[in-house]
Structure 1
Amino acid sequence: MEWVVIISVLVLTVLSLLRVNVIIAIIAAALTAGLLSGLSVVDAIDMMVSGMGDQASTALSYILLGAFAVAISYTGITALLVNYLIKVLTGKKTMMMLAIAGVASLSQNLVPVHIAFVPILIPPLLKLFDEMRVDRRGVATALTFGLKAPYVMIPAGFGLLFHETIQNGMTENGAAITMGQTALSMLIPGAGMIVGLLIAVLFTYRNDREAIPGAGGSEANFTAWKTENVTFNRKHGLTLVAIAGALLVQIITQNLIAGALTGLVLMFALVVVPFRKGEQVMADGIAMMGQIAFVMLVASGFGKVLTDTGAVDALVEMSSGFLGDNQAIIALILLLVGLVVTIGIGSSFGTIPILAALFVPICLTAGFSTMATAALIGTAGALGDAGSPASDSTLGPTSGLNADGKHHHIWDTCVPTFIHFNIPLIVFGWAASMIL
């Protein structure tokens, strides 16, 4: 039983590397876990389907955020940003990737649209990337950094939810901790992501990379963006009001759905987007975010199979036999176990309650401080978002960079982000557990 998680995650990883569709790969991994746990195929499917509901709220929020992002783009405010990037950063590859990382960072704490901005902002820039011979793997790494590092380090917006999840998970398992302590505990692991970004941008993907034939999308579309003269107007101001309203409601209610609905309602109430465009906005939002939302649902079902069959508990129990009393070894093993668990499920938010229940008793027994424990739990959870085929932090960048069909999800997004973020996260997360 203790090998079920490892084998099923290997199935997911190998199938993904072989370019099998990520949804099929996750389903195959879930069925593998079920069969190895003694379930029939039908029982494994039923368990997986029952677990899909655990991420229903997340999936719906992604659809609504997608519609909100479409409504925002309808006003033309996105063109201001794209035109600015084209004019200022043409010929400056390193600055281009760092600027994209900065823009992506705003989507977690300031403008709560998460990954929904990527399919709107990135496709118009593909032609520019290819003309500049930018390595799209570097862009993918920059996007994933912006989608992940801010909420790992900053307890605001999505970060508030992340840190509250750590706090609640620890408190429920007998290790009381404050929000301020969780934020401080994640600064060192977050610094590891900054190091990974700089390595990717300044070294790994700095050299020119010739575009794949047929890449870049529509020349006419790029030219239109490049030459379009857009100035800030009243609609753009009202759009900012809608964005502020969405952020405020999200912070007050701690609910992404409520925030996204508020933003949409304000866009129509302020007549920024005509009411008659409502159906088209929703349809475009579903088209843009529907696949990602469904991947998250299936990944949640996979997580259900792993947890309800006892496979995760068995893995941790097996690992505990190798722990001993050396804190350095214990921290490393816990992080590696967290990596295996979270890379299969692909959701830091979804796996932290599971990790907290498993890690807190071990850490208390081994004498780790509460902040060191929080660093281990938060880092282990974050590992699932960097490099996992089922993570929204990798699916989002691919949705934009693959608009022309020339960017592979696994080899061009997941592998680069795994190398540049998961390795530093493990190193810096381990260091945090030793220092704090």
Structure 2
Amino acid sequence: MNAIVLSILIMVTLSLMRVSVVFALIAAAVVGGLYAGLPAGEIVTAFNDGLGNGAPVALAYATLGAFAVMLSRSGITQRLSGRVIASFQGGAHSPTHARLVTWGLFVCLILAGFISGTLIPVHIAFIPILVPPLLLVMNHLDLDRRAVACAITFSITVMYMTTPIGFGVIFLNDILMANVNQAGEAAGLVVTRDMPPRAMLIPALGMCLGLLVAIFVSYRRKRAYQDQPLSSMEQIPAASALAPWQLGGIVLALVVALVVQVWSGSMIFGGLTGFALLSLCGIVHWNEQDTVFTQGMRLMAMVGFIMIAAAGFAGVMKATGEVPALVESSVTLIGDNRGLAALVMLLVGLFITMGIGSSFSTIPIIATLYVPMCLSFGFSPLATTALVGTAAALGDAGSPASDSTLGPTAGLNADGQHDHIWDTVVPTFLHFNLPLIAFGWLAAMTL
């Protein structure tokens, strides 16, 4: 068995057994490294080297968490949540009213996810701020939180896959297009900026189908929850009534944060700029700045630790040298079957991304291997781009170490009634990865 496949199976099995994701990643990395023949010293070195690659991501989430907390202190998220709660509690509690509130919740959360990856670049940091105040409404609606987890994961994933704005610019242009062009340069392959969004459109339709199945079929039945107190870190006091110039400052901070992030290519600088401008707006007293920043870091601490551990795991997997071996062993099974080649490449991408936990980090690993394979099988530039992009996106929605699953859990488990693995990871894996495989294969065969 390939060391990477063994490591992923161990990590997933331990996670399904409710073992800590951080421990599961470390244990899987050690076993996979030993199985591949690496000495213990090299495993430790590779893991430590990988930790450094995860530090920028963890710091980015910490700063975005601080930005989100500062934004919450303005009272914007509380007002939105309060209106929804008042609408439900003040209504007639009729089935029609409950359905309207339910669909309103889904629409608001999906739109918030769209905006968080494009116009207001806080990524998943908005979830622990916006979602916990809405849990009471979900409880009264008996709304299955697994459907909500699928909706949130969909909203923060499908946008970067298809829309070259915000994080989509990084994924589609800076990573996908750049790596495909680099890997195909010797063969004369050229992918232009308009091609990645078109190539990823069909796979994104698969995610749309998965979302509809999750909401209307899998989790449409009611599920009872108890009204439990939220964790202390979610109780963030809002500021009093804001002056018009402060509201203008908030809008300016959001715009400048987006511009800085796109200009610098760094979520860290974008988050810090937004935090600084909101501070100047006087939303909190100057002597509370450190408290707010620390609160934001605590908000995203678990996500950051898991992402750092995932980077260490990825470092060990790279050190084993088993990624090319995994692809080569797959080639021997393919023969000259073009359809089977596309399917195997997607499945291998699923295993790699589930271990790394990031589609952004997977593309540089698989592009150098996949692009020559695609060209040898006669896939077009669009089809090649779709295969590489979909193979990377696979697993992002269903990985225990992915921000696409950690984010929804951070919000939905604020009262301790939402399990990360069984209520977020497994539902998103089933409803998004399986359609992505089918529609990614369709894109590769038709484009």
Q: How would you bin the TM-score normalised by the shorter chain? A: over 0.9
The alpha-carbon distance between structure 1 residues 229 and 132, as it changes in their structure 2 partners (threshold 3 A), is farther
> 1:24 corresponds to which residue?
23
> 1:192 corresponds to which residue?
206
> 1:349 corresponds to which residue?
360
How far did 1:53 drift? Answer: 1.1
Q: Is the 8 Å Cα contact of residues 127 and 217 (structure 1) preserved in structure 2? A: no
Q: Is the 8 Å Cα contact of residues 206 and 432 (structure 2) preserved in structure 1? A: yes
- What is the aligned counterpart of 1:132 among 133, 136, 141? 141
Q: Is the 8 Å Cα contact of residues 383 and 444 (structure 2) preserved in structure 1? A: yes
How far did 1:205 drift? Answer: 1.2
> 1:56 corresponds to which residue?
55
Determine if the alignment matches structure 1 residue 114 to structure 2 residue 128: no
Aligned-partner Cα distance in 1 for 2:400–2:17: 12
Aligned-partner Cα distance in 1 for 2:243–2:428: 35
Aligned-partner Cα distance in 1 for 2:413–2:243: 30
Q: In structure 2, list runs of 5 or more residues that go unmatched.
A: 89-96
Q: Is the 8 Å Cα contact of residues 210 and 431 (structure 2) preserved in structure 1? A: yes
> 2:159 corresponds to which residue?
150
> 2:316 corresponds to which residue?
305
Q: Is the 8 Å Cα contact of residues 75 and 235 (structure 1) preserved in structure 2? A: no
The alpha-carbon distance between structure 1 residues 14 and 111, as it changes in their structure 2 partners (threshold 3 A), is same
Aligned-partner Cα distance in 1 for 2:305–2:364: 22
- Partner amino acid for 2:156? L
Q: Is the 8 Å Cα contact of residues 80 and 230 (structure 1) preserved in structure 2? A: no
How far did 1:83 drift? Answer: 2.3
Determine if the alignment matches structure 1 residue 269 to structure 2 residue 269: no
Q: Is the 8 Å Cα contact of residues 136 and 227 (structure 2) preserved in structure 1? A: no
Aligned-partner Cα distance in 2 for 1:326–1:40: 39
Write the mapping of 1:251-400 to structure 2, written as runs, cut at 5 A: 251-400=262-411
Aligned-partner Cα distance in 2 for 1:5–1:85: 46
Q: Name the SS for the 2:194 alignment partner.
A: helix
- Partner amino acid for 1:110? L
> 2:79 corresponds to which residue?
80
Aligned-partner Cα distance in 1 for 2:66–2:32: 35
Determine if the alignment matches structure 1 residue 70 to structure 2 residue 69: yes
Determine if the alignment matches structure 1 residue 235 to structure 2 residue 246: yes
How far did 1:236 drift? Answer: 3.2
Determine if the alignment matches structure 1 residue 11 to structure 2 residue 25: no
How far did 1:94 drift? Answer: 3.7
Determine if the alignment matches structure 1 residue 424 to structure 2 residue 443: no
Q: Give the % identical residues.
A: 45
How far did 1:397 drift? Answer: 0.5
The alpha-carbon distance between structure 1 residues 418 and 305, as it changes in their structure 2 partners (threshold 3 A), is same
CA displacement 1:180-199 (0-9 Å, x = unmatched)? 10111011111111111111
Q: Is the 8 Å Cα contact of residues 62 and 301 (structure 2) preserved in structure 1? A: yes
CA displacement 1:35-66 (0-9 Å, x = unmatched)? 10112334312211111111222111111001
> 1:166 corresponds to which residue?
176
CA displacement 1:392-411 (0-9 Å, x = unmatched)? 00000001111111110000
How far did 1:87 drift? Answer: 4.2
Q: Name the SS for the 2:117 alignment partner.
A: helix
Q: Is the 8 Å Cα contact of residues 179 and 367 (structure 2) preserved in structure 1? A: yes
Q: Name the SS for the 1:298 alignment partner.
A: helix
> 2:98 corresponds to which residue?
91
How far did 1:231 drift? Answer: 8.4
Q: Is the 8 Å Cα contact of residues 149 and 193 (structure 1) preserved in structure 2? A: yes
The alpha-carbon distance between structure 1 residues 372 and 216, as it changes in their structure 2 partners (threshold 3 A), is farther
Aligned-partner Cα distance in 2 for 1:134–1:233: 37
Q: Name the SS for the 2:66 alignment partner.
A: helix
- What is the aligned counterpart of 1:202 among 216, 241, 244? 216
Q: Which moved more, 1:82-91 or 1:369-378?
A: 82-91
CA displacement 1:127-174 (0-9 Å, x = unmatched)? 111111000101111110111111111011001100120011111112
Aligned-partner Cα distance in 1 for 2:197–2:85: 36
Q: In structure 1, list runs of 5 or more residues that go unmatched.
A: none
Aligned-partner Cα distance in 1 for 2:255–2:402: 27
Alignment RMSD: 2.1
Aligned-partner Cα distance in 2 for 1:394–1:375: 23
Aligned-partner Cα distance in 2 for 1:142–1:86: 20
> 2:92 corresponds to which residue?
none
Aligned-partner Cα distance in 2 for 1:400–1:23: 19
Aligned-partner Cα distance in 2 for 1:383–1:236: 40
CA displacement 1:263-317 (0-9 Å, x = unmatched)? 1121123333332221011110110111111111110111111112111111111
Q: Name the SS for the 2:98 alignment partner.
A: coil
How far did 1:88 drift? Answer: 4.9
Aligned-partner Cα distance in 2 for 1:113–1:45: 33
Q: Name the SS for the 1:110 alignment partner.
A: coil
The alpha-carbon distance between structure 1 residues 77 and 95, as it changes in their structure 2 partners (threshold 3 A), is closer
How far did 1:121 drift? Answer: 0.6
Q: Is the 8 Å Cα contact of residues 77 and 236 (structure 1) preserved in structure 2? A: no
Aligned-partner Cα distance in 2 for 1:353–1:110: 26
Aligned-partner Cα distance in 2 for 1:135–1:231: 36
Aligned-partner Cα distance in 1 for 2:409–2:355: 18
Q: TM-score, normalised by structure 2?
A: 0.92
Q: Which moved more, 1:370-379 or 1:83-92?
A: 83-92
How far did 1:229 drift? Answer: 10
How far did 1:232 drift? Answer: 8.7
